Amino acid sequence: MTDAPTNGNGSDWPGAPVHTAGDKRTELDELIGHVENGNTVAVGGGLSSREPMAIIRALIRKGVKDLNVVGSAHGIDIDLLCAGGCVSESSESYVGFEQDFGMAPNYRRACESGDVKVNDSCCYTVVQQLRATIMGLPFMPVRSIRGTSVFDMHPEYKTMTCPYTGEELTLVPAVQPDVAIIHAQYGDAHGNLRIEGPPVADILFAKASKKVVASVEEIVSNERLKELGGANIPYFYVTALAEVPMGAHPTACYPFYAYDRPHTKDYYDQAKQGAEAFKSGYLDPFVFGCTSHEAYLEKVGGEDTARHLGSWKDGDEAWMSLYGSTPA
């Protein structure tokens, strides 16, 4: 069960609710019920790590529409959401596959056709907009951006003269995502989350968003969570969580599994051939054709794949072999 959020200061602005329920555990399909059409969604993780891919596939199956996605550096997560027709605006700072494969084909198509409004941001701008919300402020100043085309693209950015120094500064408005979707390594029943390795913007997302829904590799006791090093997202930010092993696949979720590069290459090759080819070659078999996360895991190789991607622990040679040995 999930809780009915309360808002401590009794107003819509700027406080986000605190989520006080004792037991936040639920199932993936119920978890995604917190994401509604038209929401501003902060997608956790970054590039090829710890992206909430099981949640994203479930959102596509559900047919969620008109999301505005906000964040820093992303890849297959936003690309797949665009292919699934879920996105109407992108305020990400990067969506691509780095030098490994290049531009994100579905994202590009969606932007270039006009289906997705291009509203590119920049990492520090996003950070400052989230921090404004976290601090209960309507905006934050930034020194940078003025003089770039990014400034011209955003009529909501303003300038002011600092009353103390006389300097001109850029102001960026607070951003409060309706919901953050996050995949973490561990959580407990109360909703405390432990992210291992780079948290990217997830902790900021959790503090700034009205709701946080999380999939985790393992739900453990609070005692065990503390043994592992403790929570970095306290439970009261979190609306609901579900145990979804391999929930970030094909992105990495160390120490459980590395990035599934062959799967990602197949994804990319299909995506590059066009929207129709991608639908029949990827969306149908891996998203719509797998009615549950368990069915997806079977489809991508089940235990064998999990074991293989976990073999990074066996040493540098084993780790390196997961990426293939020759340049593309």
**Paired tokens of 313:** 């622990």
- Min dist CB 79 to another protein, Å, is 10
Using the rule CB under 8 A, which residue among 58, 179, 204, 216 binds another protein? 204
- C-alpha triplet 269, 271, 274: angle, nearest 5°: 115
Q: State which of positions 250-269 bind another protein (CB under 8 A).
A: 252, 254-255, 258-259, 261
Using the rule CB under 8 A, which residue among 30, 100, 243, 266 binds another protein? 100
73 binds another protein (CB under 8 A): yes
274 DSSP β-pair partners:
none
**Buried-state track 163-195, b at ≥16 Cβ within 10 A, e below 16:** eeeeeebbbbbbbbbbbbbbbbbbbbebbbbbb
Q: CB under 8 Å to 73, separation ≥6 — which residues?
A: 46, 47, 92, 93, 94, 123, 200
125 binds another protein (CB under 8 A): yes
**Paired tokens of 220:** 């453990």
**Paired tokens of 80:** 């797949």
- C-alpha triplet 150, 153, 155: angle, nearest 5°: 115
In terms of CB distance, is 104 or 182 closer to another protein? 104
Using the rule CB under 8 A, which residue among 62, 88, 127, 275 binds another protein? 127
In terms of CB distance, is 188 or 260 closer to another protein? 260
Using the rule CB under 8 A, which residue among 2, 48, 106, 209 binds another protein? 48
213 binds another protein (CB under 8 A): no
Q: In this chain, which stretch among 57-65, 86-94, 239-247, 272-280 interacts with another protein, using CB under 8 A?
A: 86-94
Burial bucket for residue 99 (CB in 10 Å: 0-12, 13-18, 19+): exposed
Using CB under 8 A as the criterion, which residues of the chain lie in contact with another protein when the complex forms? 46-49, 72-73, 92-96, 98-100, 103-104, 107-108, 111-112, 118, 120, 122-125, 127, 131, 142-150, 167-169, 197-201, 203-204, 252, 254-255, 258-259, 261, 312, 316, 319-320, 323-328
